[in-house]
Amino acid sequence: MSGDRNNETRYLLEEQVGFLLRKANQRHRLIFSTEVDNEIAPAQFSVLAKLHEVGAVSQNQLGRLIALDSATVKGVVERLLAAGYVHRERSPDDARLRIIQLTDEGRITVERLLPVAERITELTLAPLSEQEAKTLVRLLSTISL
Amino acid sequence: MSGDRNNETRYLLEEQVGFLLRKANQRHRLIFSTEVDNEIAPAQFSVLAKLHEVGAVSQNQLGRLIALDSATVKGVVERLLAAGYVHRERSPDDARLRIIQLTDEGRITVERLLPVAERITELTLAPLSEQEAKTLVRLLSTISL
DNA sequence: GCTCGCTCACTTGTGTACCAGTGATCGGAT
DNA sequence: ATCCGATCACTGGTACACAAGTGAGCGAGC
């Protein structure tokens, strides 16, 4: 490789955003599962947190709120139902809708986990300064549509 | 909610790094699949790009290079084998190892896709200025361990 | 030369994540 | 009233992603 010009467009996987986003996600997931001690999975927590914020919603609506495909929501909700954290019922107004809301146990669980979630965010951002953390959040928001 | 103090620790899912990382990844995947026209999946491309860079490696070694679990590598390599892009053989030196390397077709394919991959990176970072893009890459690297 | 700790690839099981397609249902326009 | 485009939940299929455990094989030290 004696003719290798390093001013040329040399593709370095490690510098590509896609690769870095995957790695960053990886580390976040690790921190997440450690902190919640495998009590709940990330997507499931997102659902609980959102339901805690907005109350009762239909499944599709829920998916839109947390950016999850309706097929994915199905699975996540299914597991939360099995765990007894949420409750599902047909809407009296629209026979197509399935309204999801927290059970008492679900509400108690989210409220207990919210501080843990904040700690997870903190730990994930720990290698950065306060300022850098803010910047990262801003830049990520910008490229997320 | 009249007593809601907004200087309190109000948990906003949309501001959590974990959520943003997932969304950013989501957009990146969308751009990826559009640009490669579903010819190949992201993890598969990572493998091809890495093999193109380093030549022949064992499966575990490969996994370490691109941060993939050995169970995940198995599946990805399996699909690349089926597509005829890589080639797998036992190491003569160490009976445990399975050496993976590109086939001619694999090499031709990666070389064709490398410019596309750069375009994917560009498109993903398009909402940011040059400076911001650099910053994002730096910050992501920092929090990825 | 045998044991022991390690690595390797693999398996099983769970949990996202998305696409494409389906049938029931809704609501507005005719 | 009926039709029609849209929405809803769901299904089946593909592709990561990781934890935990397995058996074969390696190599250092005794």
At A37-92, the pLDDT tens digits run 999 999 999 999 999 999 999 999 999 999 999 999 999 999 999 999 999 999 99
Query: Which among B61, B40, B41, B39 has a CA at the least distance from the CA of B50?
Result: B61
pLDDT for position A9: 63
Residue A118 CA from chain centroid, whole number = 13
A65 in contact with nucleic chain D (CB within 7 A): no
Does the distance separating the beta carbons of B9 and A118 come in below 8 Å? Answer: yes
> Which residue stretches of chain B have pLDDT < 70?
1-9
Phi-psi region of A127 (alpha: psi -120 to 50; beta: other; left: phi over 0): alpha
Mind listing the pLDDT tens digit for each residue in B73-85?
999 999 999 999 9
pLDDT for position B2: 47
Q: What's the CA B114/C1' C28 distance, rounded, in angstroms?
A: 50
pLDDT for position A14: 86
Mind listing the pLDDT tens digit for each residue in A78-129?
999 999 999 999 999 999 999 999 999 999 999 999 999 999 999 999 999 9
Does the distance separating the beta carbons of B9 and A121 come in below 8 Å? Answer: no
pTM as predicted: 0.91
Check: CB of residue A133 under 8 Å from CB of residue A125: yes
- Cα gap B56→B58, rounded to integer Å: 7
Check: CB of residue A132 under 8 Å from CB of residue A51: no
Q: Which residue has the higher pLDDT, B32 or A10?
A: B32
